[in-house]
Structure 1
Amino acid sequence: MDNSTIIQCKDLVHKYIDNEQKEKVALNGVNLSVKKGEFLVVLGHNGSGKSTIAKHMNVLLLPSGGKVYVDGMDTEDESNLWEIRKTAGMVFQNPDNQLVATIVEEDVAFGPENIGVEPAEIRKRVDESLKKVGMYEYRKHAPHLLSGGQKQRVAIAGILAMKPKCIIFDEPTAMLDPSGRKEVLNAIKQINKENGITIVLITHYMDEAAQADRIVVMDNGEIKLEGTPRKVFSNVELMKNLGLDVPQVTELAYELKKSGIDISIEILNIDEMVNALCQLR
């Protein structure tokens, strides 16, 4: 594992026993390196293995075969468990399951208190983390009175207060309305760009994936495609065969190209589409 890599999966296999007592393979020899400071999105339909790989990065699951290293630490070595969880924090789908206190700032303080951070340092971390996700003015509020997007941002602040090098988000916007989704994605992008924290985002929303540095597409426990959003989404046929959409403008460009119009299919947003159409004149 070189110095530029924070998470490495080597020939990772994950097997489990289903309800009918049959052995199933959720991950089948996955090789994946996550670079320090990267914003990586893992895409795939339900059952593709994307959430399983996220849980391996935070030692919620252990390999059936192969290895996972987080900042050089082997996830199968029990003595690394808490150090790995401090290094790679995790935010889940349902914000209600992650909030433990009756006041927002107490919730954010919970993690640092558990790892023995000094009270004065906790105070500083809580304030800084809430400011980073735009929730500082709600610090005295009761979490259950907040919107879904606000709750999820408090959950992110709670992880930030632990000072992780990496945060893994397992479909963090799946239960939110569009405005809540936007709030959370903006917070994720901000902590990646401004604080250099590595982000691994598991999602099935194409508009979220389009904003990543790199996308990995999973199907049947294997990586089928990886690259920049432009490269990945220009594979319209393959994405559809995997049961996934591409951004609407990318699909429009693809259909125009198919009908004989000379237009790039590496288009991700409306502005790019407008520019490409203007150049056709």
Structure 2
Amino acid sequence: MKDNMIEFKNVSYKYAASEEENTVEKYALKNVDLTVSEGEFLVILGHNGSGKSTIAKHINALLLPSEGKVYIDNLDTSDSNNLWEIRKRAGMVFQNPDNQLVATIVEEDVAFGPENLGVEPSEIRRRVDESLKKVGMYEYRKHAPHLLSGGQKQRIAIAGILAMMPKCIVLDEPTAMLDPFGRKEVMNTIQDINKNYGITVILITHYMDEAAKADRIIVMDNGSIITQGKPRNVFSKVEMMKKIGLDVPQVTELSYELAQCGVNISQEILNVDEMVNALCQLR
């Protein structure tokens, strides 16, 4: 049985907001319980303001709970003595890769994190080469980051986190600013480091085809988790997803519409191959 990498225990997070000249407290998270196992690939879905990015920032201790506890690899985020270790174990990749690149040469950028951790130079060299190979960018190690494509820049940002040897990576809409090819590059990289290196991945995305690749999905609304489960179970709840303003994969919606028209077809279809097989069986 795998250990828990992340635990949220009855976590709430309040912030001050202005409303007609009054300052009121609002909840960005409310009574959230969540566990993520080591090596799991978890996707968080929700519309803007649902609390998904607030969860991400709690994992890296950028935010601390107003109520409840967050544990990262059994370390309490509210204990300031744990902060350095938590950020070594849980790395974050944000939406805009240009905001994460700090050097003028790719390999120097990837080395930035381990240098700040005080890692020995020979070990930094090994980590940089290994991390760039993991994301398929080793041949670009001498290139200038600003000359790369958006997808390549985001893979360099991921390599920079990998060089710090985290046990967990949180990616907050890392493909939102990329073209379809760049999105595919980054998703292949994310899946590879999860499956082949056992790194826990928490991905926030608004692309349902990306979410369909996860081990588990949680759906946020108004600061709470309203449903969770395997992708095909979550996406089969088409009416609930639409009610809170979220889509489902196109083939899942097609199977839903066909069923509404009286066609006897599975409601848990996630991809085109499954749809083709289901339609062939209707003959």
Q: TM-score range by the shorter chain?
A: over 0.9
Change (3 A) 1:163 1:236: same
Structure 1 residue 3: Cα displacement: 5.8
- Give unpaired runs (5+ residues) of structure 1: none
Runs of 4+ in 1 over 6 A off after TM superposition: none
Q: Where does residue 9 of structure 1 map in the other structure?
A: 8
In the aligned structure 1, how far is the partner of 2:16 from the partner of 2:109? 36
SS at 1:22 equivalent: strand
Counterpart pick for 2:30 among 10, 23, 28: 28
Q: Where does residue 96 of structure 1 map in the other structure?
A: 98
CA distances 1:181-225 after superposition (whole Å, capped 9, x unpaired)? 111111000000000000000111101000000000000000011
Counterpart pick for 2:142 among 137, 140, 143: 140
CA distances 1:73-113 after superposition (whole Å, capped 9, x unpaired)? 00000000010000011101111111111100000001111
In the aligned structure 2, how far is the partner of 1:19 from the partner of 1:145? 42
In the aligned structure 2, how far is the partner of 1:16 from the partner of 1:190? 37
Per the normalisation by structure 1, the TM-score is 0.98
Q: Which moved more, 1:150-159 or 1:10-19?
A: 10-19
Report the identity percentage: 75
Residue identity in the other structure for 1:235 = K
Residue identity in the other structure for 1:38 = E
CA-atom RMSD in angstroms: 0.9
Structure 1 residue 18: Cα displacement: 2.1
Q: What are the equivalent positions in structure 2 for 1:63-82 lying under 5 Å apart?
A: 63-82=65-84
Structure 1 residue 22: Cα displacement: 2.4
Counterpart pick for 1:167 among 155, 166, 169: 169
Q: Where does residue 231 of structure 2 map in the other structure?
A: 229
SS at 2:119 equivalent: coil
Per the normalisation by structure 2, the TM-score is 0.97
In the aligned structure 2, how far is the partner of 1:110 from the partner of 1:18? 36
Residue 43 of structure 1 pairs with residue 34 of structure 2: no
Residue identity in the other structure for 1:151 = K
In the aligned structure 1, how far is the partner of 2:24 from the partner of 2:179? 37
In the aligned structure 1, how far is the partner of 2:2 from the partner of 2:131? 27
Q: Where does residue 269 of structure 1 map in the other structure?
A: 271
Structure 1 residue 19: Cα displacement: 4.3
CA distances 1:28-48 after superposition (whole Å, capped 9, x unpaired)? 010000011000000000000
Counterpart pick for 2:118 among 93, 116, 119: 116
Q: Where does residue 217 of structure 2 map in the other structure?
A: 215
Counterpart pick for 2:191 among 189, 192, 205: 189
Structure 1 residue 255: Cα displacement: 0.8
Count of paired positions? 280
Residue identity in the other structure for 1:5 = N
SS at 2:213 equivalent: coil
In the aligned structure 2, how far is the partner of 1:5 from the partner of 1:170? 21
CA distances 1:209-257 after superposition (whole Å, capped 9, x unpaired)? 0000000000000001100000000000000001000000000001111
In the aligned structure 1, how far is the partner of 2:84 from the partner of 2:166? 12
